[in-house]
Chain A
Amino acid sequence: MKVNTHSRSLFICICLALLNILWLNYSLFGLFFFIVWLRMYFKSEITERDIKIIAVLLFISIPILILYKLFVIADTAAIWFLFIIIILTVQRLLYLKDRKLEW
Chain B
Amino acid sequence: MAIAVKKILKSFLSTDLLIIGLFFILSLLTIKSYILSHGIVEGGESSIYINNHYYNFFSMWEPKINFGFMSFHQSNIYLFSYIWVILSIFQEYVHPSVIFIFLSTFLASLFFYLCLRKLFPHANKYLFLPPALLYTFNLFRTLGPVNERLDLLFVVLPVFFYLFYKLVNTQKLIYLFYIVVVSILSSSLGANLPLFTIPYLLMLIYIVFYLLFSSNNGKKLKISIVTLFLFLFVIIANLFWMIPLAMNLLPKFSETSNGLNVFSALASGYFFDHFRFIGAWSWRSYHNGNPYYPFYISFDYGFFLISTLFIAFLSFSDLFFSQRKLNHLIVFFNVLGVISFILLAGEKGPFGLIYNALYFVLPLFRIYREPFAKFTPLFIFAMSFNLYFALETILPKIMKYSSKLSIKSLCLILSLVVILNAYPLLTGEAMPARRWNGAQWGNLVKIPSFWTEMISYLQSQKNISNVLVFPYTGTSSSHNWEYGLSVAGNALDFLYGGQILRGWSGDISPGGISIASMFDSTSSTPSFNLKRLLQIFRVSYVLQENDVDWRYSSRTLPPSLSNKIINEYGLSPVKNFGEYTTGTLSKILNEDRNDEKYNELYAELLNRPALTLYKDTQSNILPLIYPTTNNVYLYGDYTDFKDVISLPNYNPVAAELYLEGSVIDTPASKNYNNLTKFNEYIAVPQDFQKSFKPNSLVWNKGWAWPEPQVDPSSLKYKLIEAKETVELLYSKRAFDTNTDLLIWLLAKRASELEKFQLPQSQQDYVLRDYLSKLKDVINVFETYTLRGDDLQYWDFLKKFIVYNNRDNDVIYSAYGSSSVTKEIISVNKDFLYWLEARVALFCTSVCFKTQVPIDSVYNVYVDKSTLSKYASLNIVLRDLSGTKLNSLVTTTESSTLGDNYWINVGQLPLKKETKYLLDVGTDQNTDVLSYTEWKQYNPSASDKEFLSSQTAGYIGQDSLLNTIISGIRFGRNLNFVDSTLEYKDITKWNYASSYLLSFDYNVSRGSLIVAVVEDIALNNSDKLFPPKSQLKNVLFSQNFSPDSRIAAIKECGEENNNCLHHFQIVVTPSFFASHGYVFLQGLHQINGFSNFNVENLKVEEIPTPKVILEHKVSEPDKHYPNITYAKIDNNKYNIHVENASDPYTLVFSQTFNQFWKLYDKSSSKTSLMDLFKGASLDKVHYPVRSYFNGWYLTPIDFNNKTSYDLTLEFIPQQVLSLSLVINIVILLISIIIILFLFLYGVKKKK
Task: Name A residues whose Cβ lies closer than 8 Å to a Cβ of B.
Answer: 1, 16, 19-20, 22-24, 26, 48, 51-52, 55-56, 59, 62-63, 66-67, 71, 74-75, 77-79, 81-82, 85-86, 88-89, 91-93, 95-97, 99, 101-103
Contacts and interface: CB of A to CB of B under 8 A. Distances in A.
Q: Which 3 residue pairs across A and B have the least CB separation, nearest first?
A: A78-B271, A78-B272, A88-B319
Nearest to B306: A63
Output the residue of B270, B272, B306, B338 with the most chain A CB within 10 A. B272
Interface string B984-1028: 000000000000000000000000000000000000000000000
Contact of A23 (B300, B301, B349): B349
Contacts of A20: 350
Contacts of B322: 1, 48, 91
B327 A48 contact: no
A71 B270 CA distance: 8
Given A63-B309, A88-B320, A93-B335, A74 B328 contact: no
A26 B350 contact: yes
Contact of B271 (A24, A51, A75, A103): A75
Contacts of B272: 62, 66, 71, 74-75, 77-78
B1086 interface: no
15 contacts: A20-B350, A23-B350, A26-B350, A59-B309, A62-B309, A66-B305, A78-B272, A79-B349, A82-B271, A89-B331, A91-B322, A101-B328, A102-B326, A103-B327, A103-B328
Given A52-B320, A67-B305, A99-B215, A78 B270 contact: yes
B334 interface: yes
Nearest to B723: A24
Contacts of B842: none
Nearest to B210: A103
Contacts of B649: none
A88 B322 CA distance: 9
A66 B300 contact: yes
Interface in B302-320: 305-306, 309, 313, 316, 319-320
Contact of B338 (A26, A52, A85): A85
A62 B326 CA distance: 29
Contacts of B305: 63, 66-67
B554 interface: no
Contacts of A62: 272, 309
B341 interface: yes
Contacts of B341: 82
Contacts of A85: 316, 319, 337-338
B834 interface: no
A14 to B, nearest CB: 13
A75 B270 contact: yes
B902 interface: no
Contacts of A24: 723
Contacts of B334: 88-89, 92
Contacts of B349: 23, 26, 75, 79
Contacts of A79: 271, 349-350
Interface of B: 212-216, 270-272, 274-275, 300-301, 305-306, 309, 313, 316, 319-320, 322, 326-328, 330-331, 334-335, 337-338, 341, 349-353, 723
Contact of A96 (B213, B316, B352): B213
Nearest to B312: A59
Contacts of B212: 97
Given A66-B300, A92-B319, 13 more contacts: A24-B723, A59-B313, A74-B270, A74-B272, A77-B272, A79-B271, A82-B271, A82-B341, A91-B322, A93-B331, A95-B331, A96-B213, A101-B326
Contact of B320 (A23, A55, A96): A55
Nearest to A88: B319
A101 B335 contact: no
Contacts of A23: 349-350, 352
A78 B275 contact: yes
Contacts of A82: 271, 338, 341
A25 to B, nearest CB: 9
Nearest to A99: B215
B1189 to A, nearest CB: 54
A81 B137 CA distance: 25
A86 B338 contact: yes
A93 B319 CA distance: 12
A3 B65 CA distance: 65
Contact of B331 (A71, A75, A96): A96
Given A55-B320, A74-B270, A77-B272, A101 B306 contact: no
A101 B327 contact: yes
A67 B301 contact: yes
A8 to B, nearest CB: 15
Contact of A19 (B274, B316, B350): B350
A67 B327 CA distance: 39
Output the residue of B274, B313, B723 with the most chain A CB within 10 A. B313
A16 B327 CA distance: 27
Contacts of B723: 24
Given A1-B322, A59-B309, A85-B316, A97 B270 contact: no
B350 A16 contact: yes
Contacts of B326: 92, 95-96, 101-102
B380 to A, nearest CB: 16
A88 B271 CA distance: 19
Nearest to A24: B723
A48 B324 CA distance: 14
A92 B327 CA distance: 10
